[in-house]
Structure 1
């Protein structure tokens, strides 16, 4: 008889649950602020610009608030908790993805997410400690380094295609509601479950659009061999704002990112955490 214990999630240590919930909450805070500032930039409220809507710009906004260093320090700690939880998911296969190609790819995605949010936690901590962190675009620096390598344009092109594919997958993930199974595993009331699914759908689609645009900017940088063409979320917002009906396009994406932040809050409150 097959060992069914592998398929039955076990109760996690309390610290793992705490890390997961604190991390999801911190991620929700960041995405809500990104969405709010991007929306304000889209319709020119409060003098906000797309430059301020990037992650480092949001960290700077937090830093400028009363007790800003403490608040940003808490955000940095929360993002670090999220990164550690993602590494636990990847290493211990807490989601029971398995070791085949499909499961391995998902676990690799968890690890990649951990690296990304670990980097964001480091940036937030540096800014909270007064060591800067807002100078320069890390993606432009990465592209510049890659372009100096043999076959540099090809390397940047591969990175561009991979980023676009991540964006398209996020859009597909939202439209197909493949996350619905995890939402339903929480056993929520139907109205809360419905709101959570809708928030997730809008959030994943908006997030996918941003990733796809970032990938397109990488592709421009590869084709033109110009690292200045690359950029992160703030550059993606500027690109959307300059498109046809740009304010409305950026505004819609911004609302979606706010929904994604709300979805993170709901996951922190309701989602079962397994190990």
Structure 2
């Protein structure tokens, strides 16, 4: 029977082998394509939000990720572009998740396990976001389109029918608000710059990267926090019409008295995040601890 030590050694060797795969230059190159797609999607979301702020939005194009993919699908060569986006985003998810292979052994060390757990959770969360976007793009590429807001309302309605469903919806709402606050904090503190390979980036570009990232993260944080607030309203009132995603949050902003001006600022912020993501594609660093 193998001892615990020998089993651990095998796990270490397997992790090292997997790490070599996720460090392969080809995977990183395709992951860069995913980062370019990620940036372009945010530029499109910014444009769609600006149209909503001006009151001139196409009703078929939501100001969110699915709306951006709809816009891509309707462009010349859209089906091919969707496949490129899907493959790129899925590769980006694998590349990002590969950072866990460097940190997981810290979970076995008493002095480092909290830090290692935090870093691993952050890497996996990022990878999950990229993977969802990649799968969504592939679904659009094969013609299986859907609206994120409608799907969220359906899931919320189904959840509320079960015992304890309201508590679950409220818990998810709190988590979404937490993500928004965390994103906002990253923008205010400049923590997002850890995702940029600063030694490789020209010094003259660092202020621009920092400025666009700061504006982008603050705008995204505010928008996602509002998504959580609207979901909380749905859970506490059982009115699923308020359960909505990013497009619904944009629409809610536009509906207030100063909404068009506020939404214009959010739109600029999402576009700024797109520029930051494009800069990250040029100088990527997946290590959130650096």
TM-score by length of 2: 0.82
In structure 2, how many angstroms separate the alpha carbons of the residues matched to 1:136 and 1:165?
Answer: 20
Q: Higher relative contact order at CA 8 Å, sep ≥6: structure 1 or structure 2? A: 1
* Aligned: 1:23 with 2:34: yes
Matched position secondary structure for 1:188:
coil
Query: CA 1:141–1:83 in 2, change beyond 3 Å: closer, same or farther?
Result: farther
Query: CA 1:228–1:79 in 2, change beyond 3 Å: closer, same or farther?
Result: same
* Aligned: 1:152 with 2:165: yes
Equivalent of residue 76 in structure 2, options 66, 80, 103: 66
* Aligned: 1:229 with 2:239: no
| Structure having the higher Rg | 2
* Aligned: 1:89 with 2:89: no
- RMSD of aligned alpha carbons: 2.7
Residue 42 of structure 1: aligned partner: 53
* Aligned: 1:112 with 2:125: yes
TM-score by length of 1: 0.86
Residue 25 of structure 2: aligned partner: 14
In structure 2, how many angstroms separate the alpha carbons of the residues matched to 1:171 and 1:204?
Answer: 6
Query: CA 1:111–1:180 in 2, change beyond 3 Å: closer, same or farther?
Result: closer
In structure 2, how many angstroms separate the alpha carbons of the residues matched to 1:231 and 1:51?
Answer: 15
Moved more, 128-137 or 82-91: 128-137
Query: CA 1:234–1:190 in 2, change beyond 3 Å: closer, same or farther?
Result: same
Residue 163 of structure 1: aligned partner: 176
Query: CA 1:152–1:175 in 2, change beyond 3 Å: closer, same or farther?
Result: same
Offset of residue 228 of structure 1 = 2.4
The number of aligned residues is 264
Offset of residue 200 of structure 1 = 0.6
Residue 3 of structure 1: aligned partner: none
Equivalent of residue 100 in structure 1, options 106, 110, 113: 113
Structure 2 unaligned spans of 5+ = 1-19
Residue 250 of structure 1: aligned partner: 263
In structure 2, how many angstroms separate the alpha carbons of the residues matched to 1:86 and 1:142?
Answer: 28
In structure 1, how many angstroms separate the alpha carbons of the residues matched to 2:202 and 2:242?
Answer: 47
Matched position secondary structure for 2:257:
coil
Residue 5 of structure 2: aligned partner: none
